[in-house]
Amino acid sequence: MFDWFRQLTSQERRTFAACFGGWALDSMDVNIYGLVITSLKQQWGITNAEAGLLGTAALVVSAFGGWIVGLLADRVGRVRMLQLTILWFAVFTALSGLTQNFSQLLVVRGLQGLGFGGEWAAGAVLMGEIIRPEHRGKAVGGVQSGWAIGWAAAVLLQALLFSLLPAELAWRALFFVGITPALLVFFVRNAVAEPEVFNRARAKNAGVGFLEIFSPRHLKTTALCSMLAIGAQGGYYAINTWLPTFLRTERKLSVLNSGGYLAVVIAGAFSGYLTGAWLSDRLGRKAQFYLFAIGSGLIVLLYTQLKIDNGTMLLLGFPLGFFASGIFSGMGAFFTELFPTNVRGSGQGFSYNFGRGVGALSPWLIGRLSERVGLGVAIGLFAAGSYAIGFAACTFLPETKGRALQES
């Protein structure tokens, strides 16, 4: 499964390392919020709906950040925008630790979202253009596995800081740690170069308009990719934002035990990313997405709706993480191959992050619905519905496995 990595050139490996590190650290910063919801509810007295809105704010704004950065990446360069977005989300994560009330955190979280959305837009298209076609799915999907590493780092840091500091200080310290991704910028600046395919396309198509992805030539692809992203993102954020709270409130688990359950989910996520990346090149982009969408929907319903004991929940945690995270493995390569180089950053950044913006409504809506039907039911309904949308969109897109990149 990993022979392909040894075949990469030094430039391909450096690019992989930079994008993997950026995505892992981005994940760490983003997942911190889900781990401190309970503390914020206790200290600030916010409701589930308000907590969901805080989760949604960064994700909605990230939709605009992803498109803006994608547009700029098509003009000034993939590498330059990757550096900027890493620095941006690191700074605003740290500033979250200084906020004093709900309104302040809402604003800072929203601004953090600009960098969060932009980092994927710049990094995914950079990886897709650097890596050769036969390894593109595995490499871009391999970068996605960095999300599980960053998530695990956030969980470990939470356990450490909450054991060393009072709760009212621990959540702030956790946000302060989020400044560390800024150090990665120095590596990206010195070790990563722009893809040749991008340099050629920029020289030929400097005047492409920012609405080009909505032209008749590209509109169908943009719309279907956006729907595909809505399905995957809506399902994932329904789980990711509310799972820790669900375990503590409805399953009555302690913080220590909840961390154990999350560890199993994260292990499943890491395995899912790597397996999904391999299957994307082996079976094709569409087959991989179908498989993981069906698995995600079924597992979420089992996990949240059945009256099961702790042991069974622990076992279900692995496939939950495996399918819900692994569904993203082929998406970066798929979108890279669907858009030509002159609008690839814009198209890929808009589609993925528009899906994130719409899917991001699920944490807020789940928070509101949970006050009527319970948190488990709300998570299950939104997750299953989201995956059904993504499945439907995928049927209308062409298979792109092994496709050479279009330059214009």
DSSP annotation string for 251-274: S---HHHHHHHHHHHHHHHHHHHH
- 3-state SS of 325-381? HHCCCCHHHHHHHHCCHHHHHHHHHHHHHHHHHHHCHHHHHHHHHHHHHCHHHHHHH
DSSP 46: -
DSSP 177: G
Tell me the pLDDT tens digit for each residue of 2-26: 788 888 888 889 999 888 988 888 8
Q: Is residue 380 classed as helix, strand or coil in its secondary structure?
A: helix
pLDDT surpasses 50 at 256: no
Average pLDDT of the residues in 288-295: 94
* Angstrom distance (rounded) from CA 73 to CA 358: 23
Q: What percent of the chain has pLDDT over 90?
A: 28
* Angstrom distance (rounded) from CA 361 to CA 399: 29
Average pLDDT of the residues in 330-335: 92
User: What is the length of the chain?
Assistant: 408
**408 burial type by CB count under 10 A (0-12 exposed, 13-18 middle, 19+ buried):** exposed
Q: What is the pLDDT of residue 257?
A: 55
Tell me the pLDDT tens digit for each residue of 88-111: 988 998 999 999 998 999 999 888
* Angstrom distance (rounded) from CA 30 to CA 90: 10
Q: pTM for the full model?
A: 0.83
